[in-house]
Structure 1
Amino acid sequence: MDKQLGIGLMSGTSLDGIDAVLIEIEGSSINTKVNVIESLTHEYRSDVRTAIKELCDPEIASLEKICSMNMFLGRELGMIVNELLDKAGIGKEDVLFVSSHGQTIFHKPVGGESRMDVPGTLQIGDLSMLSEMTGITAVGDFRTADMSAGGQGAPLVSFVDYILFNNPDRSRAIQNIGGIGNVTYIPRNAKKDQVMSFDTGPGNMVIDEVVYRLTEGKQAYDKDGRIAYKGEVNKKLLNKLMEHPYFTVKPPKTTGRELFGSSFVDSFMRDSADLSFEDRVATVTAWTAKTIAESYSCFIESSRNSIDDVVIGGGGSYNPFLMEQLHRYLPNQIVYKHEDFQLSSDLKEAIAFAILGYHCLIGQSNQIPSATGAHNPVIMGKISHTQQQAFQRLNDLRGNLH
């Protein structure tokens, strides 16, 4: 199969913005090969970030605003793709697809007692708008296919982690620290059904929100861990944070702003009212590291499983204080960054969703049931092409597959 050009778009729970990457891709499954051509990052303006955050809060979100933001983000994604192509000097007619994670505003992995209260998830950023803005086939809305097969719709990047990090001699925990933390555990010389993955808990989400509130919106995150370095970790409060019931739930499991969003931070702010700004930030940063280490100890490491390497990606990998805490809580593992494997932490998830989108287009399953809890493998993703030429490019590819 010939190499193809595709674009991956990632906008995560941290609400910091959108990462876009143009890749060249060939092969499939464990034989997939990817080469990064160009990339860019588009930071959300403060008004957009605030508006999205409000949509994640069921108490103040409205159907009208969700409807409008869905189309607005589709348009924004399209503009970013066009900017990326201009930067790369490549025309839309040469690109097979654009694959978008979408912006998660609600994720409900477990249903309720009513027959209508079923698990579900909602990512916005309309695919038809994206396709129309770019003239390229758009792929997205991946999580619902996994949930339709009984999975939790996350973590989805485990499929890509298996492709990139499977090793015959080393067992690895591939840890992403975005808004939420999630891990993919890959035993030595693993088969796909031996891969395990789950959300470890908050990544940067609570740290960012605490910083944002205590600086009255002047800072969106703790750059280089500078605030945390000035504080001390409050062990009593740290232990109380570790008592959250999520950390005792067995995998597969996922979480998001539903558990660790504004209401959770409200409670934290009350419980930490007698602490300094710096101590609060140091404590929640250490908490993120400890939740990761405890998750490994409770749910991965056993007489049969061990972890040789921990590979950290996502925005949290750029926080030196958080990395120091991880080294402290993981004394028996070698802790790497994605960059040690010639992979950008900033672009990893955008690359991942490009790979997921490509597999959707060629009709191959692109999730790991043992990671998500699904009953069976599925082909995740929905496809939109509003222009004839976009459809024709995809049709030509499928013709070449047969």
Structure 2
Amino acid sequence: MTNKKSTAQGKYYIGLMSGTSADGIDLALVDFNDPKQQARLVASFYQKYSNVINEKISSLYQPGSNEVDRAFHLDVELAHLFAQAITALLKQENLSSSDIIAIGNHGQTIRHRPTGNNPFTLQIGCCQTLATLTGIRVVGQFRRKDMALGGQGAPLVPIFHQQLFTESIEANFVVNIGGIANITFLPAQGANKSVLGFDTGPGNALLDDWFLKHHASSDDKFDKNGAWATKGQVNQILLTQMLADDYIKAVAPKSTGREYFNLDWLAQQLTDFKEKTTAHLCPEDIQATLLAFTAQSISAAIMTLATQGKVYLCGGGVHNSALVHALKGSLNTTEYDFDIQTMQALHLDGDVLEAMAFAWLAYAFDQGLVSNMPAVTGASASCTLGSEFLP
């Protein structure tokens, strides 16, 4: 553990998260001074991205023309949008910049290459610009030191989840269904197992991409409640093929992103499928199969770690009732017994849980706390994550 760092005056931390769905900015105003709990959510704020910004972000998930210019213009543009959202949150809560100790800025991941030669990860939304615009100290670039230590730099939230379940005796899972789905496994007390966390595969990413491909003019940018998926039939051959993907079968530590699970990946899956069978699939059947793939890749990961326990769902996928129903169906069989709930059962807002985690990571930076988990990321050592940017 490193020495506690000096902090500016203030009361609260702000956690900032922009996820792989690239739908908007989540802010969490968090108080770490309450002796009764590890983190108290004071307020939250959500700022939706315009279609133009969404397209700018998602176009950078894959290599393309002039991408360095596009990425670093967007790096500054997102910092301005982040600052606007923070100003709006402060106004909403009748606070000033002096009330904030620091902003924990995750930024927007546009590329995540955690394996191979010279692995790297890239989150944009310039921390220095954000600090200068808001007049608030920023702690960011949380993933880089873990990667420098040989880790995958992801997922980072399991250590925060661990803070939320210190009193629990039984096994708990936190399942975050964003663009990519990830799980945190918190073993039962006395089980002699490590906390684990990893990306299971796609969450909403493929479902959103396939829906938009066939509903380009829709007001909704996602399959609301999985209504379109429920019109189709799951194709078992295609589902089995998807579940045999190298990433799905790989053991943790592992992490992935939209640069892997995207429409190009799906196109290759469909090409391979056509070589095996003459069966005709309509778009709804493919959506139904993608929904089953998301649910079963999550449930399979859970069932390799425990046969019973509590599963808490969070993230945008929680609002897809068809996906939640499929996940419950695949988790509860005669051999397994899981109690599946949302984070609301713990009086926590699952939509801002990740933003809260990055507020905690900024707090951990200031307190000199260990904030990575080598058992989760594969790093060679524990460390305090993040770098500081002053106004």
TM value normalised by structure 1: 0.88
Matched residue, 1:394: none
Q: Which moved more, 1:216-225 or 1:123-132?
A: 216-225
Q: Out of 79, 92, 96, which is 1:91 matched to?
A: 96
Give 2:3's aligned residue: none
In the other structure, the counterpart of 1:57 is 62
2:249 corresponds in structure 1 to: 248
% identical aligned pairs = 33
In 1, Cα distance between the equivalents of 2:260 and 2:309?
31
Q: Which residue of structure 2 aligns with residue 294 of structure 1? A: 300
Distance in 2 between residues matched to 1:78 and 1:229, nearest whole Å: 40
C-alpha contact (below 8 Å) 1:37/1:88 kept by paired residues = no
Confirm whether residue 107 of structure 1 aligns to residue 108 of structure 2.
no
Which digits, 9 at most, give the CA deviation of each residue in 1:2-42, with x for residues without a partner?
983111111011111111121211379xx862222221111
Q: Deviations over 1:298-319 (max 9, x none)?
A: 4x23xxxx44111111111111
Structure-2 residue corresponding to 1:395: none
Structure with bigger helix share is 1
In the TM superposition, residue 261 of structure 1 has moved relative to its aligned partner by 2.2
Which of residues 19, 24, 28 in structure 1 aligns to 2:26? 19
Deviation at 1:372, TM superposition (A): 1.1
Q: 1:257, 1:192 → 2: CA distance?
A: 34
Q: How many Å separate the matches in 1 of 2:238 and 2:360?
A: 41
Partner of 1:41: 46
Cα contact 1:166–1:186 (8 A) shared by 2 = no
Letter in 2 for 1:290: Q
SS in 1 for 2:169: coil
Tell me if the contact between 1:201 and 1:288 (Cα under 8 Å) persists in the aligned partners. yes
Change over 3 Å in CA distance of 1:381–1:246 after alignment to 2 = same
Deviation at residue 165 of structure 1 after TM alignment: 2.3
Look up the match of 2:310. Answer: 309
Amino acid at match of 1:227: W
CA-to-aligned-CA distance 1:94-139 (integer Å, 9 cap, x gap): 1111111100011111123xxxxx1110000001111111110011
Instruction: Tell me the residue number matched to 2:4.
Output: none
Gaps of 5+ in 1: 113-117, 387-402
Task: State how far apart, in whole Å, the 2-side matches of 1:124 and 1:190 are.
Answer: 41
Could you say what secondary structure the match of 2:22 adopts? Answer: coil
Matches within 5 A, 1:2-401: 4-26=11-33, 33-60=38-65, 62-112=67-117, 118-189=118-189, 194-218=194-218, 219-268=220-269, 274-298=280-304, 300-301=305-306, 306-331=307-332, 332-386=337-391
Q: Residues 314-339 of structure 1, C-alpha deviation per residue, up to 9 Å, x if partnerless? A: 11111110111111111121111111
Contact 1:224 1:319 in 2 (8 A): yes
Deviation by residue 1:28-87 (Cα, 9 ceiling, x = unmatched): 9xx862222221111111111111111111134511111101111111111110011001
Could you say what secondary structure the match of 1:293 adopts? helix
Would you say the 8 A contact 2:60–2:67 is kept in 1?
yes
Question: Partners of 2:82 and 2:136 in 1: how far apart?
Answer: 12
Q: 1:106 to 1:284 in 2, by over 3 A?
A: same
Cα separation, 1, equivalents of 2:258 and 2:192? 30
Read off the aligned partner of 2:355 and give its amino acid letter: A
Which amino acid is 1:12 matched to?
G
The 3-state SS of whatever aligns with 1:26 is coil
Report the CA distance between 1:168 and its aligned residue: 4.1
Q: Which moved more, 1:324-333 or 1:2-11?
A: 2-11
Contact preservation (8 Å) 1:98, 1:137? yes
Q: Which SS does the other structure have where 2:227 is aligned?
A: helix
Tell me the distance in 2 between the aligned counterparts of 1:169 and 1:365. Answer: 23
Letter in 2 for 1:357: A
CA RMSD of aligned residues (A): 2.2
Q: Larger deviation: 66-75 or 2-11?
A: 2-11
Superposed CA deviations along residues 174-208 of structure 1, whole A, max 9, x for unmatched, are 11110111111111127998211111111110001
